[in-house]
Amino acid sequence: MPPLLRIDNVRKAFGGLVAVNDVSFEVAEGELLGLIGSNGSGKTTMLNLISGALSPTSGKIALNDRPIAGLAAHRIARIGVARTFQLVRVLPSMTAVENVLAGAVFGHKRLWGEPAEALARELLAKVGLRGREAVPVSAMTYIDQKRIELARALAGDPQVLLLDEWLAGLNPTELTIGIDLIREISAQGRTVIMVEHVMDAIRALCGRCVVMSSGTKIADGPSADVLADPEVIRAYLGDDDA
Ligand SMILES: Nc1ncnc2c1ncn2[C@@H]1O[C@H](COP(=O)(O)OP(=O)(O)OP(=O)(O)O)[C@@H](O)[C@H]1O
């Protein structure tokens, strides 16, 4: 079966800084892939290239064999990529349910009216916000805003879901719930790429991970192997600590 998402020799330079350096990898339908690497290694830039927030300097990105690199973000969202952001981006003056509805309206599967509202409520319940539908997002905690972002991303029924450190900042109890939630989303067949620094979550969730270091892919394989790879350990901890 051809991969759902194909990243082919993708490069992104910001002036003289090569944030993503000719990176290639593929993601199969239904896979839950971890994208890891130390701070500044290019992970968020990679997600920005897939979601269309940035255009690659060179290289190809294809979703279901359809080239998407360089298309506008709203078109890529419509084709089927949804994401959450490292620093949450919600519409603060709107309610929880209105935020999630925005995902349904602008996502891969357009939904309006009653079906969209029903889906939004169902997704809010799924992320732990049952009964909070009418609360303005500005009155919610940061963690609850993260939950809303996830519900909004799911509302478009994306072919690929990109999570940018969605588990960051959760306390241990919330982390367990968050890991279970991602596991459930994946078990339902959703294809997910998660950028994450919480290694316990990567171990628990991701069969495979891709590791970036200074813009370059340095490892790609089963998470247990990759996380035991001395080069990966060195890239994370620095030579002095490895
Ligand atoms: N818009 C931009 N303009 C210039 N440089 C940028 C831009 N976005 C990212 N960079 C640089 O590209 C490099 C990769 O950044 P990126 O945010 O992708 O790393 P990251 O792996 O996601 O890091 P973190 O784990 O800290 O989020 C960094 O050196 C960063 O400063």
* Nearest atom of ligand 1 to the alpha carbon of 44: 22
Ligand 1: does its nearest atom lie under 6 Å from the Cβ of 39?
yes
Ligand 1: does its nearest atom lie under 6 Å from the Cβ of 37?
yes
Q: How far is the CA of 19 from the centre of ligand 1 (A)?
A: 6
Helix (H) or strand (E) holding 79: helix 73-79
Q: How far is the CA of 184 from the centre of ligand 1 (A)?
A: 30
Task: Name residues whose C-beta falls within 8 Å of residue 17's C-beta, 6 or more positions apart in sequence.
Answer: none
Ligand 1: does its nearest atom lie under 6 Å from the Cβ of 107?
no
- Read off the pLDDT of each residue in 37-64 and give the average, rounded to a whole number: 96
SS3 content of the chain, % helix, strand, coil (to 5): 40, 25, 35
The larger pLDDT score, comparing residue 99 to residue 61, is at 61
- Read off the pLDDT of each residue in 179-192 and give the average, rounded to a whole number: 95
Ligand 1: does its nearest atom lie under 6 Å from the Cβ of 44?
yes
- Read off the pLDDT of each residue in 31-52 and give the average, rounded to a whole number: 95
Integer Cα distance of 140 and 132 in angstroms: 9
Summary mean pLDDT of the chain: 90
Q: How far is the CA of 166 from the centre of ligand 1 (A)?
A: 17
Task: Name residues whose C-beta falls within 8 Å of residue 180's C-beta, 6 or more positions apart in sequence.
Answer: none
pLDDT of residue 237: 64
Q: How far is the CA of 107 from the centre of ligand 1 (A)?
A: 26
Q: How far is the CA of 75 from the centre of ligand 1 (A)?
A: 24
What ipTM does the predicted assembly reach? 0.96
Ligand 1: does its nearest atom lie under 6 Å from the Cβ of 178?
no
19-41 confidence digits (pLDDT tens): 999 999 999 999 999 999 999 99
| Confidence band for 238, pLDDT divided at 50, 70 and 90 | low
The larger pLDDT score, comparing residue 160 to residue 110, is at 160
> 55: helix, coil or strand?
coil
98-125 confidence digits (pLDDT tens): 889 888 777 777 767 787 888 899 999 9
Ligand 1: does its nearest atom lie under 6 Å from the Cβ of 17?
yes
Architecture of domain 1-80+160-170+193-242: 3-Layer(aba) Sandwich (3.40)
pLDDT of residue 85: 78
Nearest CA to ligand 1 atom 17: 44
Q: Where are the domains of the chain?
A: 1-80+160-170+193-242, 87-158
- Is pLDDT at 196 greater than 50 in this prediction? yes
